[in-house]
Structure 1
Amino acid sequence: MNFTDLSNKEQEKIMISEIIRNLKKLGGYATKRELLDAIKKGENTIEEKFFEEEKVS
């Protein structure tokens, strides 16, 4: 099964788990509620252009 085949709710659960795991690796901390609030508000979003620029450099 592909990630894109999952429901939005299932995708959200996977993304939140990955974000929390990566924050822990970096020594950061955020609760699931804080992440959900940030996602809903659109805060701290990274434009797709950013990733394209990072790949080049």
Structure 2
Amino acid sequence: MEEPFSMDLKTGNGFEAISHQFGPPDVVVNCAALSVPRACTMDPAAAMSVNVPSSLVN
């Protein structure tokens, strides 16, 4: 059984291991989200980095 991959959506750290194992993806589906309005308001940078993880597609 394969070990799951750990990835940081804020920085993109860990994505290289996935790309190295399986090759570069054609599609990335982000199922993670910060959806608590108060948390998003308090830390908009974190909300953007998780909800719109540009580090995955750059």
Give the alignment's TM-score, normalised by structure 2. Answer: 0.25
Give the alignment's TM-score, normalised by structure 1. Answer: 0.25
> Bigger relative contact order, structure 1 or 2, given CA contacts below 8 A and separation 6+?
2
